Structure 1
Amino acid sequence: MGLTSDVTLAVAAGSAVALFAATVWLWPRLARRGPRAVTGRIGLLLATQVALFASVGLAANQAFGFYAGWADLFGQEDDLGVVVDHAGGGGLEVLENERVAGAPGALPASGGRVQKVAVAGRTTDIATHAYVYLPPEYFQPRHRARTFPAAIVLTGYPGTARALVDKLHFPRTARELAAAGRMEPMILVMLRPTVAPPRDTECVDVPGGPQAESFFAKDLPEAVGAHYRVDPKPGRWGVIGDSTGGYCALKLAMHHPEVFGAGAGLSAYYKAPVDATTGDLYRGDERVRDRADLWWCLEHLPAPDTSLLVTSSKSGESNYKDTLEFVERVKAAPPTRISSIILERGGHNFNTWRREIPAALEWMSGRLAGA
């Protein structure tokens, strides 16, 4: 049974209920003195607590997509062991195809497709899995020569790429918005920023370590562009993410405006943390450390010609004050353009981001169309 399986959650919840009932039923017998009675009480209470916490943990993981499987949970992630054929020069291999949830009809031309792919960076040697959403128009004969704008979509840390499909509904939302004429049909490349699991690289080019920023800014667009009909014009790539992915999205757009015409940070922060999950990101290199601080970038680097979107909530988000300050600083630094979504209430969770994603995709489509 998989970590994210409904069966696993049902078994854990059922065990918790059964153990609770057993505790109530057997407690009179175990209320005596003596080693066996004491051991029985301790055993029942411990087993009930373990089952209860397991149920809560599994439910939280299903809701927020922290870990994709048991190997991911226990730090034994082996998802990178995929051989990628580089003969085509793109470093991308399609592994699976699936329908878009909620799409009408089974044909790609009517509902689009989600493809699981393996990507290997040509210059960074970083390999990872991603999900690529292709809109219905991509498969329609009248659009066979059409190219499409594209956006990288990033999870938080640790996050799972699958959560972007199943929990945050990016493909379904993009298809529905395009069908309603609210956004241009767009290719979405969905993955997590954790390209060297379990380490959190914060999309930094770590000196002597994973070149995460270069992978997202150079290798990934190159590999996707070599395999799919992505519009080659400058500024037709966007990047959007939540939490850690939101920080990465803003940083990538600010550092690489020649690639990304727009970057949207949902519940983003503005300076990379250094903690037990990141390790030493900078290794004494002040230039790398400064570039990971978006406040420093606003003050010391030329203002990039790109569009940024930030989101927060007046109640429930810890980045609210920082987000307002970030907006003011960017407003004073043309030609960078800044927009925001500020909710009255909303926590740092999937429910909040689902409320922001339709407007964010519509905003991004408009900015990429302008490019």
Structure 2
Amino acid sequence: MHRQPSASRAVLAAAAVLALAVPLAGCGGQGKAKTPAAPAAPSAKRPVPAAERKVQMPTGPAPSLTKVRDTAAGPVFMTRLAGPKSGVTGQVWVWLPPEYDDPKYATTGFPVLTLYAGGQSNGYNTWAGGQLPVQEEDARLVKEGKAHPFIMIMPVQNFTADEKNALDCSDIPGQPKMGTWMAQDIPDWVRASFRTLKGRDGWGVMGASTGAFCSAKLALQHPDVYKAAVPIDGYFAPDSLLWRGHAAEKAANSPDQLVTQGKADVRMLVTAGGADPYEKGVVKGWMAKAVPPVAIEYYEQPGGKHLTSDFKKMIPEALQWLTRNLAGPASD
């Protein structure tokens, strides 16, 4: 099944001029009323200047999306994206909120949430596969008025199952340029394919465990793309063996270093499981290094452990925090 989202733009016009009959005064007689002037033609609404527009309309061909799974909140699709800037080709899963295809929202742009999985994520993404039911939670919270309807983008992260030689969501010398694919090619494709919001105010990134590392790193490296990030129970130092011999490049891709530089105007919600002292120490130690304008909030999950079942419990809190910190759907 292929999905090609549609878009239309309604142009509103409303103006009317009423002519008043003016009596003619005559010497020794009654004046006669003039025939009312014809109404002026309606004038079109002033076009919104490009610089003031909130919505980024699709600029490219309609994407070819194959349905891979149904959820209670609508289908999850998949495509293979060949990145022109990175040279990387990989799987990307997509979920569009129910509002996206509602005619009432035909000219509305939606916020975008990119989601990264834990583990090596070779050929799968737990946010797309049902282990972490973020789509159902988002639809429920939207109905309750507690969350934005997000376009969700869920990329693959690696091309082998060897976690010791993972790509760390980075451009490791001599390896596929995953950092460029994730931070440039994927956002470019999303903007070209779907109705989104202009600028970075409607763009967030979230991940758990390894995905938390990726979300923190990408937001700190690319504050021009992402405004907010939620690293769930993460770590903050690159650990792939593929960095051997590339110490400078490794440091440039380390959230441990990036958070100290005072360059990224991004907001973050970082979490740790309350039952894991080591994890709490890692997260709190990293937070202590943060230099403004980075703004970090901390959430400790009561009794939480480093388990997918506990990551799942974090979804409602994370979606509501992202909603408070990102722009919502808008129309010009």
* 1:139 aligns with one of 88, 93, 101: 101
Distance 2:220 2:140 in 1: 29
Q: Does 1:339 align with 2:297?
A: yes
Distance 1:122 1:91 in 2: 17
> What is the CA-CA distance between 1:95 and the residue it aligns to?
2.0
> What is the CA-CA distance between 1:341 and the residue it aligns to?
1.6
What are the equivalent positions in structure 2 for 1:107-146 lying under 5 Å apart?
112-146=74-108
Distance 2:245 2:202 in 1: 35
Instruction: Give the secondary-structure state (helix, strand or coil) at the position aligned to 1:124.
Output: coil
> What is the CA-CA distance between 1:179 and the residue it aligns to?
1.4
Instruction: Give the secondary-structure state (helix, strand or coil) at the position aligned to 2:259.
Output: helix
> What is the CA-CA distance between 1:322 and the residue it aligns to?
1.6
CA gap of 1:315–1:252, structure 2 versus 1, over 3 A, is same
CA gap of 1:181–1:316, structure 2 versus 1, over 3 A, is same
> What is the CA-CA distance between 1:317 and the residue it aligns to?
5.9
Instruction: Give the secondary-structure state (helix, strand or coil) at the position aligned to 1:318.
Output: helix
| Equivalent AA in structure 2 for residue 93 of structure 1 | S
Report what 2:71 is aligned to: 100
Instruction: Say if 1:156 and 1:192, in contact at 8 Å, map to a contact too.
Output: no
What are the equivalent positions in structure 2 for 1:191-230 lying under 5 Å apart?
191-195=155-159, 198=162, 199-230=165-196
What are the equivalent positions in structure 2 for 1:60-79 lying under 5 Å apart?
none
Instruction: Say if 2:262 and 2:294, in contact at 8 Å, map to a contact too.
Output: no
> What is the CA-CA distance between 1:118 and the residue it aligns to?
1.7
Q: Which has the larger Rg?
A: 2
CA gap of 1:196–1:368, structure 2 versus 1, over 3 A, is farther
1:83-133 Cα distance to aligned partner (Å, 9 max, x none): xxxxx85795312265422x4xxxxxxxx4422222121111211112211
> What is the CA-CA distance between 1:319 and the residue it aligns to?
1.7
Report what 1:23 is aligned to: none
Q: Which moved more, 1:115-124 or 1:244-253?
A: 115-124
Report what 1:303 is aligned to: 263
Report what 1:288 is aligned to: 249
Instruction: Say if 1:127 and 1:195, in contact at 8 Å, map to a contact too.
Output: no
| TM-score normalised by structure 2 residue count | 0.74
CA gap of 1:346–1:243, structure 2 versus 1, over 3 A, is same
Distance 1:280 1:194 in 2: 13
Aligned length: 267
> What is the CA-CA distance between 1:195 and the residue it aligns to?
4.8
The gaps in structure 2 that reach 5 residues or longer are 1-58
* 1:248 aligns with one of 197, 214, 218: 214
Instruction: Say if 2:274 and 2:302, in contact at 8 Å, map to a contact too.
Output: yes
Report what 1:231 is aligned to: 197
> What is the CA-CA distance between 1:141 and the residue it aligns to?
0.6
* 1:149 aligns with one of 103, 108, 111: 111
> What value does the CA root-mean-square deviation take over the aligned residues?
2.3
CA gap of 1:318–1:92, structure 2 versus 1, over 3 A, is farther
* 1:161 aligns with one of 118, 124, 127: 124
1:134-177 Cα distance to aligned partner (Å, 9 max, x none): 01110111100101110110101223635323110011111111
Q: Which moved more, 1:116-125 or 1:188-197?
A: 188-197
Distance 1:100 1:344 in 2: 29
* 2:306 aligns with one of 343, 348, 354: 348
Report what 1:107 is aligned to: none
| Equivalent AA in structure 1 for residue 193 of structure 2 | H
Distance 1:298 1:363 in 2: 20
Report what 2:285 is aligned to: 325
CA gap of 1:251–1:202, structure 2 versus 1, over 3 A, is same
Of structures 1 and 2, the one scoring higher in RCO (CA 8 A, sep 6+) is 2
Instruction: Give the secondary-structure state (helix, strand or coil) at the position aligned to 2:205.
Output: strand
Instruction: Say if 2:273 and 2:306, in contact at 8 Å, map to a contact too.
Output: no
Distance 1:95 1:244 in 2: 27
Instruction: Say if 1:317 and 1:346, in contact at 8 Å, map to a contact too.
Output: no
Distance 1:321 1:139 in 2: 44
| Equivalent AA in structure 1 for residue 96 of structure 2 | L
Instruction: Give the secondary-structure state (helix, strand or coil) at the position aligned to 1:251.
Output: helix
Instruction: Give the secondary-structure state (helix, strand or coil) at the position aligned to 1:116.
Output: strand
> What is the CA-CA distance between 1:180 and the residue it aligns to?
1.1
| Equivalent AA in structure 1 for residue 67 of structure 2 | E
> What is the CA-CA distance between 1:310 and the residue it aligns to?
0.9
The gaps in structure 1 that reach 5 residues or longer are 1-87, 104-111
CA gap of 1:213–1:152, structure 2 versus 1, over 3 A, is same
